[in-house]
Each structure stands twice: as structure tokens, then as C-alpha cells.
Chains A and B, each alone.
Chain A
């Protein structure tokens, strides 16, 4: 057996926008309690990458999230998808309404504690942007806080556990037309692109994958037994630096996107139709003069 890899897959819940049930409080913050929460769709690619690592090299995947206690359901979903061995939730009232910066500090504290108390980590996987915050900052900021190398926009991944390096294909500047291959030492932070595709070209890998799926179904059904929750005391974090108080990012307001006017009727005029063209020009005169209809 090759050297087993220990991975952390970061995931978070996002409001289920599909149901259109998003609500904001008076100060303009998202009221997550009133909106159904699902796993951030882009995290699925990070989970796939963590799973691929485990299938190919053996090892352990821990799915980790920071958020309210309700995120346990997101971690359960993650466990089902990534066949995670266990899950960790960093949850505390003091951690509520963190922006990406405060989230990154909290996550890195969680990772540090994990390394100290649970095991060394080889890889941390994060998804590209969340469906709600849309900043794409959490991954890089957490990596920075950990002082680890980071590879972003990863679309394919190979790991050499003996050499302790990873080789990744990535989109340069997130551009689908420009792909480069990079190498990085482990431990490393990997941010997957939505173009990420796991590949399993060996029968033994596919058999392992299938076995993991079968084993996981049982585990996910008893998810609470595999869930560890850490609060700010466990993480030894000062409330002043985390949560809303520690979030320097202020979103001034969110404007509704104006609806395109659609009541007008379109009239088709042939370019050869002299009379029609004259009428059209007359009608357009006021617009040209700066008046709007």
C-alpha cells in the first residue's frame, strides 16, 4: 500500500437560493435560520478531489465546516458525497456572521487544533467561491493564515506521496483556454475549479470507490456519532477577533437588479421600406435629443 494521505475538505452551507426563500434582517444580514441550508455547490468539487486522493492512496478524509449548529446537516451531506470518515463543525454563537477574513482565522485555528490533537494533515481542499458570499477568498486567506502553499483553479490532481509533492493541472487566471501544470510540496492547500474532474483509470480504484460508497451509507445514517463540534473556547479564539466584531468587510447594500422593460412591442421594419424608416427616425428623435421614453 502506498503512503496514506490525510485530507481535510472544507465545506459550508449556503442558503438554498433555488427555493427563493432568502431573507435578510433589518441590518441587511442574511437570516440563515429562515432560509433552508444546503451544501455550497462548488464545494462538491473539493470533496471529489479529497475523495480521489483517498481512493488512490488510501487514508482519511475529514469534512470540516464553520457555521451554526444547523450546518451538521451540511456535513452529513458532505459525508455522503465525499465518503468522509468523520466531520468537524466549528460552531459558536460568537462565530456568527463572520466575513471571509474572520472565517479564515477560525478555520486555521481549527486546522491547528486538528494537527495538534488528531493528526498531521497532508492536504486541505476548498471549493471555488460560495454561492452566497461570492468572494472566493476563504481558501487563500486560510492558507495564508496557515502559511501553507496554495494551488487554485485546480482541474486535475496527481499526488506523489513518497516524494511528498502534488502535481496539478490548473486554469491560469481561471481561464478555461489556458491550462498549466504546477508542482507544490505537501502539506498544501488546494482550491478546486468547477471544471475539476476526478479520474479513476484503474479497476482497483473504482472498486475501492464502490466499497467506500457502501461503507459510507451506514456511517452517514449515524452522522452524529462521527461529528465533533468545537466552539471558540475549544479553539482558544478571542471573540473580539472573530464573528461579526472581527469582520472588517462591510457590504454597504445589495441592490436589486433592475428588471428589463418588456412591455414594449417590437415592430419589424424592412430597410428598403422608405416610409417605415422615416416613421422610425421620427420616433427616435426624442431619444437622440436626450429625452427618455
Chain B
């Protein structure tokens, strides 16, 4: 190998992925005049990406996206969020709290975004910047692993290109990072370390949005939903206003989805068809796109030392996705981490130890306070002592008793609860149990709420129609996921949890089938990757060999 390694192409830095993390890293590397090549598997940046999505500019963050990309808010973002509310739902009874205090805590600005628009805009800027260093952005290229020499990471290997060597490799390849897995830094094992997000982008005229939400054209709103509208599945819903569309979605703990055998698309439909949404959606519902993606829970998986040799992980690849109660912050942290990784490489440039940049990067994450946002020490402590479970069961039993409900239901509690919801500290401590997500909000809804009598006329598209509306460039005969164990015990959870599959639906990715052999019945699972939206769920909940499709293949999101 050593003999032909001199023939490999070499760049000072290779950045894998052109989402917010990769874009920030590449832009900052270019600022430091470092020759930077960016490899993105989508046919255009953003074509593979999904977020809710509100992007935050945090006051305390060392970098925000508008620092790095001038004109970002004007040109790449949708509406700014000027109003922020949470709705506690119990049946048709809803209690709404103004959450502006929580939302505005440490917030310089916050805008809704659509990822195809945002990321493709970033891609152009990044290409301009990195071209000047002798590099640039290449799309339709999938990195499939790390290039090693004598056991050391020295570069990347790709489906479409010959191996490439680099002094710095930035894995900004998102939640299902194949590079983080190849390096052994992350695994895809435990469902309780992930959320699954599902989203519908809904067409709506700007004037209609202004009118229905009571907004000026330069204003926007974020509505959050929790309570019993998702049965017992732990998670919540969101609705954000874009310029000429709405982003409506749900985010659930993956372990809870699996436990309840819940169907993600049905949970989304439960939100879309709730009476509360009737006034906003009206009677003409036009869904532009259905999308889904896993989301890491930084409290559990943010890697404290996200580096190895010349490799650094940034953003979702490193698990840097903070769920601060109902507020989801992934994009902003990916930006910070990407920029810090670039700075770390710049200051350690010339150091003979190839791992110097990685160590410096981890230190910068720590010193800037980023790591403590992602993995609050408090939470880790509570988790190890098992304190969480004790607290939860006590609170649960109190809440479920009539006395408890009355206590929560009295007027003082109403004030206190609103304050508690608005406390970033309390919210980040909220244990991942049904208490915070379901019991408490529904008790609030029930006892303080107003009953909603609106008639919701929305008839959401079926899963089949949703899949039919998506754009695919299928890699015929070359499926990117292989089912290793087709028994129902090992892989059956994917039939319900896969956002484009469902029990009793033959047009999805996963199907279950009962076969009879020698008089004994057995349920088997089969897989067809054609309708796959590459969310990553089955990499965790089923026994598979999971890879991304080749560059430019698979699903192509137009909204994200």
C-alpha cells in the first residue's frame, strides 16, 4: 500500500458533509487559508437533510451561522420567530403557555429554515470560499470509509473517487455518520439514545399565513404541542411558519416509539387532525413533502472526545444535538463545533502530532461551554445515580392521584408551571419519561385548559401517497441496507418504527409476513429499500448492515 500511497490525491483538509456543521468547518478552514475539499453525497447540499427547523444564534456561542456567512438570515432563512408557545393537550382540552422567556434565553436571533434552500445556499458560499484555497465542494460523492495506513487514519475512501489523503478529516456527515462508526467513536446500538423526527411541509400563501397566525410579513411563530395527543409515546409536536409554507412535525424518543409499536406517520396525522390546528390549516391541506430523520440526544451520546488521529467529528456525527425540553438545538451547535474544529487545526498546524488538532478541538468545546450545554454535568450525575427514576415514579404517582391533579390544577400551580417550563435549567433536567412529555402536560391541559370545538377538516395523505410524492433516484440492484436477521424478534420493530413502513402496508420498506413451516408459525420480516428516506431508524432498531446510498442516489428532498 505504501508504494502507491504517493499517488493518492492530497488536500490539507477534507470535510465530509455539507450541512451546517460541514459548511461552518469549511468556511472557517478557508478563512485560515487551508486547502479544503468538501464532499457531499447529495446531488445538491440539503437534498438529504431534514430539520424542524429553527436555527438559533446564541448569545453565548463562539460562532453563529450569520458570523460565518454574511447575508444568511436575509437570503437563506425563512421567517424569524417572534412568538413562541406550548400547548398542553388533553383530548380536546388545551392549555397554552407563552414560552418566550425560555425561547429568548441566550438567544440573539432565531429563524425558521428549510434545509434544501438553506444548505444549497451555504454550498454555493462554501464553494466560493474553498475554491480560493485550491479546493471546493463536490456533490454526488459518498465517502464510504476511512483510509488507513499502518493503522493510522490518513484520509477517506469514496464510492465515486479514488482514495484521498488529508491532514485533517472533518466528519460532518450527520446523524448516521459512517465515519464515526468506522472509527469506533459512535455506535448505533441503543434506541434510547435517539429521537426520530417526522415532518410535513405544508403549502400556504404568505398572506394566508399572516392572516391566520396574526403576523406581519416579517414575523413568524413557533407552536409546540405535548400531552396525550400522541397516546403514551414520549415526545412532542411543532409547527413553524416559513415564508410560504408551514413546517409541522413530531419528535419522539425512539425507544418509546419502539415500545409502543407506534406508527410515526399516524402520530404526525394525530397532530395534523387535532381540532387545535383547524383554524390554522383551514380546509385546503396541500402537503408538499413528507420527511424523516433520526436525531441524536446529546445528553446521552455527545462524545466528550470526538476525535481520533486526524479525524474530528462535528455536529450530529458527534451526537451534538441538544434537546432542551421542547427546544431542539442541533444546527447551531453543529456550526459552533465545525468552526472550532477548523480553528483547532489552524492553531496546531505544523505540529508533528497528527492528533493535536483533535485534542485542541475537544478542549475548545469544553472551554467555550458548548460541551456543558450538550451534556449538562447535572444530568449525567442524576443518570448514574438512578435518581431520575426515583424522582419520576414519585412524581408520576402523585400526578395520577386525584390529589396530585388538583395540586397541579390550582391557580398557583398554573403560574409556577409556566415558570418552570420557561426555566432552561429545569427543562434540561426533565427526565425522559412519560411524566414530562405526557402525564404532566395532559394534566395541565385537562385542569387548566379550554375545550376546543373547532372542526378539523384535514385529511392527510396516506403513506402510499406520501411516498409517491417523493423524488427518488433509485440505485437499482444495489440496495444500501441489508437485513441481517429477518426474524421478527430481531428486526420486527422496524415495520412500525420505519417512517415509510407500517403493519399491513405492502408498499413500504419493511413488511412482516407470517409463514408456516412444518406446522409451526413464524413471523418474518422483509425489506425493500426503494421507498427508504434514509432516516437511520432501522440501523438502530433492526439487525441490518446499514450504509447510505451512493452519491446522488436515493431520496431527494426538495424542502427538508
Contacts and interface: CB of A to CB of B under 8 A. Distances in A.
A is bound by B: yes
Contacts of A206: 138, 141, 161
B131 A203 contact: no
A210 B138 CA distance: 8
Contacts, number: 28
Interface in A179-214: 201-204, 206-207, 210-211
Contact of B131 (A201, A202, A211): A211
B123 to A, nearest CB: 11
A202 B138 contact: no
A8 B162 CA distance: 29
B163 to A, nearest CB: 10
B136 A202 contact: no
A2 to B, nearest CB: 14
Interface in B2-35: 9, 11
Instruction: Give the one of A202, A203, A204, A207 with max B CB within 10 A.
Output: A203
A202 B161 contact: yes
Interface residues of B, number: 14
A71 B478 CA distance: 42
Interface-central residue, A201, A202, A207, by most chain B CB under 10 Å = A207
B387 interface: no
A211 B127 CA distance: 10
A202 B160 CA distance: 9
A241 to B, nearest CB: 49
B138 A201 contact: no
A203 B136 CA distance: 9
Interface string A201-245: 111101100110000000000000000000000000000000000
B237 interface: no
Interface string B106-140: 00000000000000000000010001000110100
Nearest to A199: B160
Interface in B136-171: 136, 138, 141, 160-162, 164
A201 B136 contact: no
Interface in B186-213: none
Contacts of B11: 203
Contacts of B127: 210
Contact of A202 (B9, B39, B135): B9
Contacts of A211: 131, 136
B9 to A, nearest CB: 6
Contacts of A210: 127, 136, 138
Nearest to B135: A207
B258 interface: no
Nearest to A208: B136
A203 B138 CA distance: 8
B136 A207 contact: yes
B161 A201 contact: yes
Contacts of A207: 37, 131, 135-136, 138
12 contacts: A201-B160, A201-B161, A201-B162, A203-B11, A203-B37, A203-B39, A203-B141, A206-B138, A207-B37, A210-B127, A210-B138, A211-B136
Given A203-B164, A206-B161, 11 more contacts: A202-B9, A203-B9, A203-B39, A203-B141, A203-B161, A206-B138, A207-B37, A207-B135, A210-B136, A211-B131, A211-B136
A-B pairs with lowest CB-CB distance, top 6? A207-B136, A201-B162, A206-B138, A201-B161, A203-B37, A203-B161
